[in-house]
Structures are given as C-alpha cells and as structure tokens.
Amino acid sequence: MTRRVLIVTHGGRPEAVAAMSEAVAELESAGFEVTLHDDDLAETFGDQMSSTRVHEGVAESEIVMVLGGDGTILRAAELTHGTEVPLLGVNLGHVGFLAESERENLHDAVRRVAAREYVVEERSVVDVVVHRPGESEPVTGWALNEATVEKARRERMIEVAIAVDERPVSSFGCDGVVLSTATGSTAHAFSAGGPIMWPDVDAVLLVPLSAHALFSRPLVIGPRSEYTVDVLARSPLPAVLTCDGRRSIDLPVGSRVQVRRGAVPLRFARLVHAPFSDRLVSKFNLPVIGWREAADDAAARRAAWHATDQRDKEA
C-alpha cells in the first residue's frame, strides 16, 4: 500500500525551498509518495522531482508535514480540520510553539515518520457562531489558537458585553477580546496578559485587550460552557472577528459572537515525549539555572544521607 505525505510550507522563503528539497528527497527515498500543497513550489520542483504530485491530497495522506513557523502550521490546520490526518511541524520560524521538530532535526523527523515512531495528540479548537443584525442565518467559524473580537478602526474603543452561559458577567470599552484555546494561550492571549494553560486543559480562555474597566481580568470556562460577546448598540465603532489571524468576519454594531469548545479536535503528530514544561522553557528561553542547582543540591544531600545510612548499618 502506498504511503503518502502532504507537505505544506512557505514557498517564498529560500530556507523553506531548501528544506522542501531535502524533505521530498528523503521521503521519496523512504518509499513515500509526496504531495506539495503550494502551486508555486510545484513550479519550483516540477522539473526536478517527477514523482511529486501537486494537489490538495489531504484525505489520502498519512500525515501532513509542515515546514515553517506557527503561521504556516495554522494555514495547514485549515486543510486538516475535520479530518483524522495529523500535522507534524518542523520549525523554520522564530518561536515555533506549535512545531514538533527544528530544522536541524529534519532528517530524524523523516526517519521517525517512516518508522511510524510518533504518537498522535489531539488539540481542542473553538467553534464560533456570529449573529449579525438584519441577517437570518448566522456565520460560523473555528480557530485552533484564538478567535479575536477587535475594533475595526484605530481611533476609538468598542463597547462590548461579556456573558457566560447566557448570564451577564461584565461590559466595558476596550480594544478587543481574545477568546483562546489552551493551545493558543501562549500566543495573542499571553501577550495580552493571559495565563499559560497546559495543552491538555479542556477550557476556553477570555482575555480583554486594553479594557477601560475595573474588572477586566482573564476568565477561564470549562468545556460545556459558552462565551457570548455582544458589540453593543452604544459602541462608536464596528468590530471584526479574526480566527487565528487568518479568517475575518465583519461585526457591525449589534452583532453577537458565541464561542465554545469545538466538537472536533485537531490532531498533531508528536515525536518527543517531554513534558510541556520543557517545551515552555525551551521556546521562551526561561531561566532555570537556580532550580537545577537546587535539584543537584538535593540529589547530593540524598546521596550523602544514603551513604551515611549504609555505613551506620554496616557498623
């Protein structure tokens, strides 16, 4: 049976083109049939790699390999959303929080995919329903990282009301509101002062942006609850809803946005079984020297205590 891999990358970046060339050659050597998602890359590689087909090819793929940063991974997520096909990110960007491997480990990533040495992890998304005045049918959307309600123009704030499970919580003027998954808690929500949530936390986070209010703290709700954000009639500006920074919906004054945990998760291929705390330290370059020194001291004390205890028993 033919094994297939779909590759998604940023065709305009030279480093992405170089990584693409290496990945395609190694995957084909391992017996895979490789599909390229981007037409511009197809033109680049068409004369060099005759076995490379160019089409969407998601449903036929065993895995989708993404060569790029978090933005490219979010683009690839649009292809796999609603399917069983996992994503594997190889970071060519800066932080690359969603990526599983780094550029220098591309060869090992291909080897482990070929050997099926990976596990599949599910990540929750948020589902979005938008009701706009004068429209009988709602507009729907989804996001892996966050859905953000923001002012459509710079000059003034928007006025919003927040509710949870159809019960009012607060209203205020603000630049916007971020509604984030646990996965997205390290992205826009984190920059706005929200907490970091471990990926297995089944919750949805709300973080106000520059709110003019005494109570504007982040909120976290469980998987069966729902946020409602109303763009109030007194708001001097319309707003816009943006999902993962990629898909936008205009929000006239009087619009209502409902956000809850999505029913269908996204799937990611994981090569490393290290805890999320290690990823956090690595990606944010957090200082942990003091903790490691303390751990070494504790280990030394335990070893000394054990040696003393042994001598006492022998005596």
- Distance between CA atoms of residues 192 and 118, nearest Å: 34
Containing 196, the helix (H) or strand (E) segment is none
Give catalytic status of residue 70 as yes or no.
yes
Helix, strand, coil percentages in the chain from 3-state DSSP, rounded to 5: 30, 35, 40
Residue with tokens 């197809």: 42
Query: Is the distance from CB of 267 to CB of 100 less than 8 angstroms?
Result: no
**SS3 label, residue 55:** coil
Using CA atoms, how far apart are residues 195 and 228, in angstroms rounded to an integer?
A: 20
List the structure tokens of 81: 């959303």
CA-CA distance, 154 to 130, in Å (whole number)? 22
185/146 Cα distance (integer angstroms): 8
Count of CB atoms within 10 A of residue 152's CB?
14
**Which 3 state secondary structure label does DSSP give 39?**
helix
- For residue 32, what are the CA distances in angstroms to 104, 208, 217? 21, 46, 50
- 86: which 2 tokens? 């996992």
Distance CA 17, CA 34 (A): 15
Which member of 38, 39, 47, 70 is catalytic?
A: 70
Compute the distance between CA of residue 26 and CA of residue 32 in angstroms, rounded to an integer: 9
Give the H or E element holding residue 160.
strand 158-164
HEC string of 58-85 equals: CCCCCEEEEEECHHHHHHHHHHHCCCCC
Question: How many angstroms separate the CA atoms of 54 and 42, rounded?
Answer: 6
- Residues carrying an active site annotation: 70
